[in-house]
Amino acid sequence: MNDFLFADFLDDHAVYAALQAYWDARLACFDGQCTPYLRTAFANGQPFYDGNPIVNLADRPKGKAARIVQQCPRKFGHDYTSFEQAIELSGPDGSHAAREKIIVLTLTQQTARRAEAELRAWFAPA
């Protein structure tokens, strides 16, 4: 059974845009709390279209960031991994030490729910 969502996102820019809209809607709960911290396009404005990251969010006051790296299901099959690492987050007053959660997945309804729950817990008030 093929339960992958947006499986052709790396091959079709319209599917990629729809995928980004899907994640934006799914993670709208972070609007106002988090902002992007990574570039997702070249200097000329052309998007990378590589899924790394498909989502990136930073809560600079809390020193936390997260990104979702979406992989091609034809190459990786069902996959979900997450881990944390130390990073530097830049802001208007310079760079500060922060923690980053990285979620690497192939997208299904189940992995989307899991990633959303993990991000909610990650960015939850202490």
pLDDT value, residue 92: 82
Pairing of strands 55-59, 64-70: antiparallel
Dump pLDDT digits (tens) for 103-116: 999 999 999 999 99
pLDDT tens per residue across span 57-66: 999 999 999 9
Which element (helix H / strand E) includes 89?
A: strand 80-91
Give the pLDDT confidence of 69-106 residue by residue, as tens digits. 999 999 999 999 999 999 999 888 889 999 999 999 99
Per the CB < 8 A criterion, the answer to whether 103 and 66 are in contact is yes
Q: Would the pTM count as exceeding 0.75? A: yes
How far apart, in whole angstroms, are the C-alpha atoms of residue 18 and residue 41? Answer: 17
